[in-house]
Amino acid sequence: MSAKNRVKVAVTGAAGQIGYALLFRIASGQMFGPETEVELQLIELEQALGALKGVAMELDDCAFPMLKKITCTSDYAVGFKDVNWAILVGSVPRKDGMERADLLKINGGIFTTQGQAIAANAAKDVRVFVVGNPCNTNALICMNAAKGVPSDRFYAMTMLDENRAKTQLAQKAGVDVTAVSNMTIWGNHSATQYPDFYSAKINGKPASEVITDTEWLKGTFIETVQKRGAAIIKARGLSSAASAANAVVDGIFNLTHDTKNGDNFSMCLASNGEYGVDKGLIFSFPCTTVGGKLKIVEGVKLNDFSTEKFNVTLNELRSERDAVKELGLI
């Protein structure tokens, strides 16, 4: 079989935990399909290049048939050169005692420089998928810095939240996880996100009809999904890595393959005013890919409960945007 396509993929933070769980899955063909050749352009801080070399050696040792080239660099101009995809994983997450403004400032610097380097070096069709937290606002900064790259090419990840929510609903209903569809995460990838059980379906029926324990849906379910990242950190002593990497694979698969069977998936992207979200805000919406194009699903009904939850996460994203505006980052 001869391969038809080749993609160049940049991954920042490639020697980190998520990088270690992600690169092998990209190289194996799980993300872009078994007929697409892959070139990996791995970007790390200078001090992590030694560890990155080890990861590259392991990639070599897998003899993946579709992996055609590996570049390891700390130079953005080299790392983002001609890439079709930029997966931005490396960032500085909040540490104990760190003020939010400090966090936004540090990441603002990283994502401004990366946005500029993407605009200057990447392929014309580049798409940017931000994982590093705070991912919505990092994507906003990157999008604003990447002059000339259309704003509809920037995404932030709520796929992990969606997968977490699906499993919680399936376990509660006593069904297979594949029975759960249309699981929308609205808003920010943070503890304010709204996993919308009202629009989710179980075996094609509204989840809120299959699971009649409304108190659980409105309380434990939402909280479990919102706080799952913190629960993993508490249990593992480290943040989610394999499940996050898996969500990157699912998320980019969803962006590159048409959505089937009336389902939708959650993706953070720049609003065009849908559902009253401020234009340009990177907000998680229910989406589909149709004919290779990403679309926000319109017309999802939000009742009073959903509207209240929706507004909380929207207001959080507005305040993050205002903070980075004040810092002169956008």
Ligand X SMILES: NC(=O)C1=CN([C@@H]2O[C@H](COP(=O)(O)OP(=O)(O)OC[C@H]3O[C@@H](n4cnc5c(N)ncnc54)[C@H](O)[C@@H]3O)[C@@H](O)[C@H]2O)C=CC1
Ligand Y SMILES: O=C([O-])CC(=O)C(=O)O
Task: Name the binder of 89 from ligand X, ligand Y, none, CB < 5-8 A by kind.
Answer: ligand X
Q: Does 93 bind ligand Y (CB under 6 A)?
A: yes
How many CB atoms sit inside 10 A of residue 173's CB?
16
**DSSP tally for the chain: helices H, then strands E:** 12, 14
Q: Which residues are annotated as a binding site?
A: 13-19, 94, 100, 107, 114, 131-133, 164
Burial class (CB in 10 A: 0-12, 13-18, 19+), 253: middle
> Taking CB under 6 A as the rule, does residue 229 contact ligand Y?
yes
Annotated binding site for NAD(+): 13-19, 107, 114, 131-133
Give the residues lining the site for ligand X (CB under 6 A).
12-13, 15-19, 43-45, 48, 89-91, 93, 110, 131-133, 135, 157, 160, 189, 239-241, 244
How far apart are CB 111 and ligand X at their closest, in Å? 9
Which residue among 9, 66, 160, 270 contacts ligand Y (CB under 6 A)?
160
If contact means CB under 5 to 8 A according to the sort of partner, which of ligand Y, ligand X, none does residue 101 touch? none
Adjacent-strand bridge partners of 293:
290
Helix (H) / strand (E) element for 323: namely helix 304-326
Rounded Cα distance between 143 and 132, Å, is 14
CB distance 108 to 323 below 8 Å: no
d(CA 60, CA 165): 36
Q: The tokens of 219 are what?
A: 């309380």
> Which of residues 158, 240, 246, 266 is near ligand Y by CB under 6 A?
240
Q: Which of 59, 32, 71 is nearest to 253 (CA)?
A: 32
Question: Using CB atoms, what's the residue nearest to ligand Y?
Answer: 229
Nearest Cα neighbor of 244 from 139, 175, 156, 169 is: 156
Q: Which tokens hold the place of 314?
A: 């929207």
- The item of ligand X, ligand Y, none sharing an interface with residue 232, based on CB under 5 to 8 Å by kind, is ligand Y
Q: Which of residues 128-147 bind ligand Y (CB under 6 A)?
A: 133
Residue placing its CB nearer to ligand Y in the complex, 41 or 163: 163
Tell which one of 239, 256, 307, 311 touches ligand Y (CB under 6 A). 239
191 binding ligand Y? (CB under 6 A): no
Which residue ranges make up the annotated binding site for substrate?
A: 94, 100, 133, 164
Q: How many residues bind ligand Y (CB under 6 A)?
A: 8
Determine, following the binding rule CB under 6 A, whether residue 247 of this chain makes contact with ligand Y.
Answer: no
Q: Is 227 in the site for ligand Y (CB under 6 A)?
A: no
How far is Cα 207 from Cα 214, in angstroms, rounded to an integer? 10
Q: How far is the CB of 224 from ligand X (least distance, A)?
A: 15
Q: What are the residue ranges of helices labelled H in 6-155?
A: 17-27, 49-62, 76-79, 100-121, 135-145
Nearest to ligand Y of 181, 239 (CB atom): 239
Does 158 bind ligand Y (CB under 6 A)? Our answer is: no
Pair of tokens at residue 203: 């075996």
Report, as residue numbers or ranges, the catalytic residues: 189
Q: 162 near 226, Cβ under 8 Å? A: no
CB nearer to ligand X: pick between 51 and 123 = 51
Helices 242-256 and 159-173: angle between axes, nearest 10 degrees:
100
Stretch that binds ligand Y, among 32-40, 228-236, 281-289, 302-310 (CB under 6 A): 228-236
Q: Looking at beta carbons, which residue is closest to ligand X?
A: 16
Whole-angstrom Cα Rg for the chain: 19
Please report, as ranges, the residues that interact with ligand Y according to CB under 6 A.
93, 133, 160, 229-230, 232, 239-240
